[in-house]
Amino acid sequence: MPEPIQNQFDISALDLPDILGTINEEVRARFGEGKVADYIDALANVPLDRFGMALVTRDGTVHEVGDSREPFSIQSISKVHTLTMALDAIGDALWDRVDREPSGDPFNSLIQLEYEKGIPRNPFMNAGALVVADVILSNYANPEQALLEFMRARSGSHDVGADEVVAKSERESGFRNIATANFIRSYGNIENDVDAVLDFYFLQCSLSMNCVDLARSVQYLSRGGYCDVSRTRVVSWELATRINSLMMTAGTYDAAGDFAFYVGLPAKSGVGGGIVAVAPHVMSLCVWYPGLDDKGNSMLGRYALHRFAQMTGLSVF
């Protein structure tokens, strides 16, 4: 297949430091909005007075503002990276085990799983991420190390690591995930020991990173699959477009329609308050504000991305 015609978006016309500065001021005036993810004890005490935003352009230039170097719990953002690893390992065979449709249900919902015989709707809801974790366990000799190496290579940071307190807290409060994994196992769509799959899933959720490292970690999705940080091709350009499309339709759970409407960029959120977003062929971004809306997405992170898309005209639509 031919290489695609790339967007000719001219970012040199944009005053990115000024745009980030404006967003930072607007967000700080609204500190306190939303609610932290208190169902995980270790996340319950994060203060609502932190906001960071970072973007990485195609040539690797970083622009950042606010608390962009403060590490936070990346949670479900890691589902982008594990999906990439699973696709790298088994390719399209993944789609026999996970579907590619938006769920329209909360990220931890089980309701469709019984009707759909243990095949999760998409790889970004918890059920789908658990199947992806199972694929990684079957295909990587040392899965946890492989994930850490993937994250470090993509972000260029050796500081990426698991927060043991968060991982323990995830397991202690992980009744829904434990039920989900066992339910999928009952349909034969998890092959490995359920506890081992859950341990990997809780580890991926407990990784700690900052906005700059996270924006870099998905730069390959803004560069047709090529990672400029490690100077390696991570996925084909076609696969990069596929992953971006899934982020658009399912990356923010049952708010994916709303994100497409207000932001118009593929995005993936986590209950730690981070959201990564991709402007294909232009830049990758990360925002962080710990207060969440009722769908589990960062309240002011979503606002920041909405304002960014408005001020830059960057939307895929």
Q: What DSSP letter does each residue of the chain carry, written as one string? A: -PPPPPP---GGGS-HHHHHHHHHHHHHTTTT-SB--TTSGGGTT--S---EEEEEETT--EEEEESTTS-EE-GGGHHHHHHHHHHHHHGGGGGGTS--S---S-TT--HHHHHTTT--S-TTSHHHHHHHHHHHHHH-SSHHHHHHHHHHHHHT-TT-EE-HHHHHHHHHT-HHHHHHHHHHHHTT---S-HHHHHHHHHHHHTEEE-HHHHHHHTHHHHTTTEETTTTEE-S-HHHHHHHHHHHHHHTTGGGHHHHHHHT-S-EEE-TTSEEEEEETTTEEEEEE-S-B-TTSSBHHHHHHHHHHHHHH-----
* Using rule CB under 6 A, residue 107 touches ligand DON: yes
* Using rule CB under 6 A, residue 109 touches ligand DON: no
* Interacting residue with ligand DON among 24, 57, 68, 75 (CB under 6 A): 75
* Using rule CB under 6 A, residue 103 touches ligand DON: no
170 is in an annotated binding site: yes
Asked if 253 is an active-site residue, the reply is: yes
126 is in an annotated binding site: yes
CB-based contact 278:235 (threshold 8 Å): no
Closer residue to ligand DON, CB minimum distance, 132 or 205: 205
* Interacting residue with ligand DON among 34, 270, 280, 290 (CB under 6 A): 270
Closer residue to ligand DON, CB minimum distance, 106 or 118: 106
Listed residue (107, 252, 250) closest to 180, CA to CA: 107
**Residue 18: CB minimum distance to ligand DON, A:** 31
226 is in an annotated binding site: no
Asked if 201 is an active-site residue, the reply is: yes
Closer residue to ligand DON, CB minimum distance, 19 or 151: 151
Residues 152 to 181: which contact ligand DON by CB under 6 A?
A: 170, 177
76 is in an annotated binding site: yes
* Using rule CB under 6 A, residue 269 touches ligand DON: yes
**Residue 249: CB minimum distance to ligand DON, A:** 15
- What's the CA gap between 224 and 239, in Å, rounded? 8
Closer residue to ligand DON, CB minimum distance, 23 or 271: 271
**Residue 58: CB minimum distance to ligand DON, A:** 28
Closer residue to ligand DON, CB minimum distance, 72 or 237: 72
Residues 199 to 258: which contact ligand DON by CB under 6 A?
A: 205
Selected range binding ligand DON among 85-93, 217-225, 227-235, 265-273, rule: CB under 6 A: 265-273
* Interacting residue with ligand DON among 84, 109, 126, 217 (CB under 6 A): 126
> Where on the chain is the footprint of ligand DON (CB under 6 A)?
75-76, 107-108, 126, 170, 177, 205, 269-271, 296
